[in-house]
Amino acid sequence: MPETKALTIGALAARTGLSVSAIRFYEEKGLVEPFRSSGGQRRFLRSDIRRLSFVLIAQQLGLTIGEIERQLADLPHGRTPTQADWTRISKAMRKVIDARIAELERTRDRLDGCIGCGCLSLKKCQLYNPEDRIGLKGPGPRLVLED
């Protein structure tokens, strides 16, 4: 049964479109856990193709590696994820998307209120909301759009 054979990192890269270095990086971050050949080279399961596909999809949604890792944490390495696994994750991602869309729509509505008024003054403009920026983690302004 050739379809159960392990994949080299290069083969996995070819299958996913990721670079070899990115896959190694993801291993470091705990997204995949390859075993090793007798000579020390990485060997991946076929189910890792799916794991990494998920990583790519989740990145398109703007999830950070850490957030993706948390989603994948419950997915067992070594067994092909079940349909229920993906359903659970897909639903979680849908919530993320919905929230992000809602946030953008709110911004758009506020912007509409500003078009033509030229009010961009700190006192009056609803778009500029200093409270939004207070208590942001880390250095400097962060994209509110990112979660």
Q: Which of residues 57-76 bind DNA (CB under 7 A)?
A: 59, 64-66
The binding site for its own copies (CB under 8 A) comprises 15-19, 22, 49-50, 53-54, 56-57, 59-62, 81-87, 90-91, 93-94, 97-98, 100-101, 104-105, 107-108, 111-112, 114-122, 125, 127-128, 130, 132-133, 140-141, 143-146
- The CA distance from 128 to 66, in Å, is 30
Please check whether residue 41 is in contact with residue 8, taking contact to mean a CB–CB distance below 8 angstroms. Answer: yes
- The CA distance from 13 to 19, in Å, is 6
Smallest separation (angstroms) from DNA to the CB of 10: 2
In the list DNA, its own copies, none, the entry touching 74 (Cβ below 5 to 8 angstroms by class) is none
Query: DSSP letters along 54-108, please?
Result: HHHHHHHTT--HHHHHHHHTTSPTTSPPPHHHHHHHHHHHHHHHHHHHHHHHHHH
Tokens of 14: 């070819």
24 binds DNA (CB under 7 A): yes
In the list its own copies, DNA, none, the entry touching 82 (Cβ below 5 to 8 angstroms by class) is its own copies
Give burial (CB, 10 Å; 0-12/13-18/19+) of 2.
Answer: exposed
In the list DNA, its own copies, none, the entry touching 128 (Cβ below 5 to 8 angstroms by class) is its own copies
> What residue ranges bind DNA (CB under 7 A)?
8-11, 13, 19-22, 24-26, 37-42, 59, 64-66, 138-141
